[in-house]
Structure 1
Amino acid sequence: MDGIPQKAGFEPPAPVPRTVPPSRLEIIRTVLKNPLELWGLPSYTWPWIVTRFFGQTTIIANDPGLIRHVLVDNAANYEMSEIRQLVLRPILRDGLLTAEGPVWKRSRKAMAPVFTPRHARGFARQMREQSELFLTRYQSGPSGLVRDIAVDMTELTYAILSETLFSGGIVSEQGDFARDVDDLLHSMGRVDPFDLLRAPKWVPRFTRIRGLGVLRKFRELVHRTMDHRRDIIRKDRATAPDDFLTLLLELEGPDGLTSQEIEDNILTFIGAGHETTARALAWTLYCVANSPDIRTAMETEIDSVLATDADPVDWLERMPLVRASFEEAMRLYPPAPSINRDAVADDRYVAPNGEVVEIARGTTVLVMPWTLHRHELYWDRPRIFDPNRFMPGEREKIGRFQYLPFGAGPRVCIGATFALQEAVIALAVLMQRYRFDVTAQTKPWPVQKLTTQPAGGLPMRVTPR
């Protein structure tokens, strides 16, 4: 780790842990405004907390052993939580993120070949090409222009997703894609007060009405995309790209996926498949901009590798600091800040010290990467941005269930390798040519609206190196 600062001191913005429990009214207000502001000091210092929200027993699990028990060892006893499904199923229906039981198993099995590490490596050159193409928007503007990097990273990752998984075949109209994604996932993808009260599904959730028009727009986009590709396959299969879209369409049938399941999964990947990576990239550029020594070391690493004209398929392994900085940003700002499960039957967990956690049927277990990644029992200086944690020799000391940017267990993110490779390639291309600096207007505040996003965007000054 020569030349890398050992004690980076930047503490990015985050809610201060509560010291007084919130009232029921405060809980509702905070969940509607920003669930990240709900958590008290015990959530960052205790291995687990047993509490009750609106008559529902809830366990906040930070202990890695308990997390492993719920997500892996006894995963069959835990289903997707009711509140999570109330939020996401109206959008994604039986997409991979929300499907359960046989439907989920069929979809996961069908898509797994596309996201193997070997197959993901095959996308590296397309990821580089799309990242370089994206830079033309910076070249066409004046030097030192201020851009909303949160929006830019959404559009960049969408372009990469469109090219790699759909061969550029998403039949879309001209418009503000980043704004549409924001409206879809963050007007509909939020907890409504009726969800907290466990109201029946038929009761309207008024907080989501604004997103219904955008949802219809995305569903129409998916229909056009499917119909266009079906026409190509029907006319001449040899001319159809061998990509994710073709794979899904050819799995349609009694032994595969239904047309509706295919539609749901395409919508899941178009609407949400790039979103988590986009947020993590934006937070990485922000944290790096506030850590000049780390940025300089990253630029040196990037310049050294790119000077050799190395194949982008090798960048992930040859740029350990770039990868470490991205992973550290995901620690501080996990793209998916909560993992929710409900116990199907009574269960218990016995910790190594003999303490017992009784988990009754119907209990909600919250595995919170947001609190876990900032937990004082498991991290040194947990609120400080320090990529050294993830450098070779240090990364191996981090427990598997201590760091969960992609989840764990059977439902671990299918695109984890894809996302890591995409992030390193995008950061290398961007940072080789440009510097991203904060301005007086760069005052992000992390807000949980499905993903961890910066409220008000991330305006940053972009200048050539």
Structure 2
Amino acid sequence: MDTRPEPFEPPAPEPRVGIPSRLQIIRTVFRNPLELWGEPSYTLPWIETKFINQRTLIVNDPGLIRHVLVENAANYEMASVRQLILRPILRDGLLTAEGEVWKRSRKAMAPVFTPRHAKGFAGQMHRVCEEFIRRYERAGSGPLVTNVAVDMTELTFEILAETLFSGEIAVEKQGFAGNVEELLHRMGRVDPMDLLVAPPWVPRLTRIGGKKVLNRFRGIVSETMAQRRRRMAEEPERVPNDFLTLLLQLEGPEGLSTTEIEDNILTFIGAGHETTARALAWTLYCIANTPAYREMMEREVDEVMASGEDPVDWLDRMPHVLAAFEEALRLYPPAPSINRAAIEEDEWTSPAGEYVRIEKGITVLIMPWTLHRHLLYWQKPRAFMPERFLPENREKINRFQYLPFGAGPRVCIGATFALQEAVIALGVLMHRFRFDLTEATHPWPVQRLTTQPRGGLPMKVSVRVG
């Protein structure tokens, strides 16, 4: 536990008071959807709401979440508002595809992300992290102030590029975070027309200028694919056996179409690393505010480093590091909402006999943001308390009250990859350096596809002594 009388509560919107008008709802969702949710969303197991003619069931009860995402998942499709936001960017990528297209893509990519295969990436992850921290070496002559939100985006992109694409993405790694930031700022926010469920052909004024940056990403994907195809044709014996090669080998009438491959590559290049990056930055911020727990993490990291443990074993050997990362995922879930719509009428009864009727067509909104801060399921839900996730406490957490990677058939395919990557990155960073607050460190969480710190996360990096 930290030495403070009360654990650290990182910044987050207070539950909204009162019933907002339609205009207030639109303004709040456009500015920051995380600020919309009122006290019932943090205290009740489910709530039914209506906005204009759209009905929404907000679900927090773990049993009902299990029913929607697992037990009767076939009755729930992607909600229209979510698709109106994401499909213009990702089209038929894994996050947005449905039906047979999704099944083909998921089946094709599953072998790359099995826990056993993911462990094979540990050495590459470690090497990239060691190379990355060289940019902090000048902190040896005095503390270095840097935006860790940007740094972690660039680090996780470099890991992704090396592990899944063998370093052969047709873009400069340095400065790539700026491209991602621009894409999410331009294209990753809710437009008023989305709330009104206007057809895709109705212009979204808030996304003017977004097509240019999206086309830039599509160009990166197209050139990456072209470069690999040339290698496959000219020197097949030297082609890396990686994620990119796997997808291109599946191109054809019996596998994936060219556009499906392009959409999935864009999904991973543009968003596949973003969730881990955000959680890493929030972790560094939270532990800077809990020095006693940070010292436990440092001792753990130093012991593992001194023992010469293979990075493939770090996930099991660094429980305090993993717990801090999982607690950051709880407080700042990178994907703060899971949206579904009921295809047919459904019903559910709780173990206590409470009955819920789910009407055909209703939007079912599962909010990790509110679920992870819910008073019914967490002690001191707004506090940063990593000990919740230590091995002796982990089993007390219901599988469906903690959803940083979703659940059910559409659970995040890269969950094991992300956890291993995070522990290795934190191990390398914390063994050599310490991250502290500056006078300018005042982050505020905003929802732009992922949960981002508005204004970045400036922190002071210094070489650890002793």
Shared fold (TM-score, shorter chain, > 0.5): yes
For residues 432-460 of structure 1, what are the alpha-carbon distances to aligned partners after superposition, in whole Å with 9 as ceiling and x for unaligned?
00000011100000001100000000000
TM-aligned CA distance change 1:307 to 1:4, over 3 Å: farther
Asked whether the equivalents of residues 7 and 386 of structure 1 are also in contact (C-alpha less than 8 Å), the reply is no
Asked whether the equivalents of residues 2 and 291 of structure 2 are also in contact (C-alpha less than 8 Å), the reply is no
For residues 313-343 of structure 1, what are the alpha-carbon distances to aligned partners after superposition, in whole Å with 9 as ceiling and x for unaligned?
0000000000000000000000100000011
Provide the rounded CA distance (Å) in 2 between the counterparts of 1:94 and 1:359: 28
Q: Which residue of 2 aligns with 1:463?
A: 462
Question: Given the alignment, which residue of 70, 73, 94 partners 1:72?
Answer: 70
Find out whether 1:122 has 2:120 as its counterpart: yes
Provide the rounded CA distance (Å) in 2 between the counterparts of 1:126 and 1:54: 51
Find out whether 1:254 has 2:242 as its counterpart: no
For residues 118-152 of structure 1, what are the alpha-carbon distances to aligned partners after superposition, in whole Å with 9 as ceiling and x for unaligned?
00000001101111111111114652111000000
Q: Which residue of 1 aligns with 2:397?
A: 398
Q: Which residue of 2 aligns with 1:223?
A: 222
Q: Which residue of 1 aligns with 2:28?
A: 30
Asked whether the equivalents of residues 348 and 358 of structure 1 are also in contact (C-alpha less than 8 Å), the reply is yes
Instruction: Give 1:7 shift.
Output: 7.5
Find out whether 1:429 has 2:405 as its counterpart: no
Letter matched to residue 87 of structure 1: I
Instruction: Give 1:6 shift.
Output: 10
Find out whether 1:318 has 2:317 as its counterpart: yes
Q: Which residue of 1 aligns with 2:99?
A: 101
TM-aligned CA distance change 1:106 to 1:174, over 3 Å: closer
Structure 1 segments unaligned to the other structure (5+ residues): none
Asked whether the equivalents of residues 154 and 175 of structure 2 are also in contact (C-alpha less than 8 Å), the reply is no
Q: Which residue of 2 aligns with 1:350?
A: 349
Instruction: Give 1:14 shift.
Output: 0.4
Provide the rounded CA distance (Å) in 2 between the counterparts of 1:118 and 1:188: 35
| 1:297 partner SS | helix
Instruction: Give 1:185 shift.
Output: 2.2
Q: Which residue of 2 aligns with 1:166?
A: 165
Asked whether the equivalents of residues 4 and 297 of structure 1 are also in contact (C-alpha less than 8 Å), the reply is no
Q: Any runs of at least 4 consecutive aligned residues in structure 1 with deviations exceeding 4 A, and if so which? A: 3-8
Asked whether the equivalents of residues 154 and 173 of structure 2 are also in contact (C-alpha less than 8 Å), the reply is no
Q: Which residue of 1 aligns with 2:81?
A: 83
Instruction: Give 1:208 shift.
Output: 1.0
Asked whether the equivalents of residues 8 and 386 of structure 1 are also in contact (C-alpha less than 8 Å), the reply is no
Q: Which residue of 2 aligns with 1:182?
A: 181
Instruction: Give 1:188 shift.
Output: 0.5
Find out whether 1:328 has 2:343 as its counterpart: no
Find out whether 1:266 has 2:265 as its counterpart: yes
For residues 152-210 of structure 1, what are the alpha-carbon distances to aligned partners after superposition, in whole Å with 9 as ceiling and x for unaligned?
00000000000000000101147631111011123201111011111111111111122
Instruction: Give 1:54 shift.
Output: 2.2
Letter matched to residue 376 of structure 2: L
Q: Which residue of 2 aligns with 1:46?
A: 44
Q: Which residue of 1 aligns with 2:412?
A: 413
Letter matched to residue 203 of structure 1: V
| 1:394 partner SS | helix
For residues 245-273 of structure 1, what are the alpha-carbon distances to aligned partners after superposition, in whole Å with 9 as ceiling and x for unaligned?
00000000111000000000000000000
Instruction: Give 1:5 shift.
Output: 6.9
Question: RMSD value over aligned CA atoms?
Answer: 1.3
Which range moved further: 362-371 or 18-27?
A: 18-27
| 1:58 partner SS | strand
TM-aligned CA distance change 1:401 to 1:5, over 3 Å: farther
| 1:214 partner SS | helix
Asked whether the equivalents of residues 8 and 385 of structure 1 are also in contact (C-alpha less than 8 Å), the reply is no
TM-aligned CA distance change 1:169 to 1:261, over 3 Å: same
Instruction: Give 1:4 shift.
Output: 7.7
Q: Which residue of 1 aligns with 2:131?
A: 133
Letter matched to residue 405 of structure 1: P
| 1:112 partner SS | helix
Letter matched to residue 180 of structure 1: N
Letter matched to residue 52 of structure 2: F
Letter matched to residue 255 of structure 1: E
For residues 215-235 of structure 1, what are the alpha-carbon distances to aligned partners after superposition, in whole Å with 9 as ceiling and x for unaligned?
111100101100000000011
Number of residues paired by the alignment? Answer: 463
TM-aligned CA distance change 1:243 to 1:15, over 3 Å: same
Asked whether the equivalents of residues 333 and 404 of structure 2 are also in contact (C-alpha less than 8 Å), the reply is yes
Asked whether the equivalents of residues 157 and 173 of structure 2 are also in contact (C-alpha less than 8 Å), the reply is no
| 2:209 partner SS | helix
Which range moved further: 14-23 or 26-35?
A: 14-23
Asked whether the equivalents of residues 60 and 366 of structure 2 are also in contact (C-alpha less than 8 Å), the reply is yes
Find out whether 1:291 has 2:290 as its counterpart: yes
Q: TM-score, normalised by structure 2?
A: 0.98
| 1:397 partner SS | coil
Find out whether 1:207 has 2:209 as its counterpart: no
1:233-244 equivalence runs, <5 A: 233-244=232-243
Instruction: Give 1:393 shift.
Output: 1.2
Which range moved further: 121-130 or 16-25?
A: 16-25
| 2:169 partner SS | coil
Letter matched to residue 66 of structure 1: L
Letter matched to residue 262 of structure 1: I
Identity %: 68
Q: TM-score, normalised by structure 1?
A: 0.98
| 1:272 partner SS | helix
TM-aligned CA distance change 1:70 to 1:5, over 3 Å: farther
Provide the rounded CA distance (Å) in 1 between the counterparts of 2:200 and 2:339: 18
For residues 340-380 of structure 1, what are the alpha-carbon distances to aligned partners after superposition, in whole Å with 9 as ceiling and x for unaligned?
00111111111111111111111000000000000000000
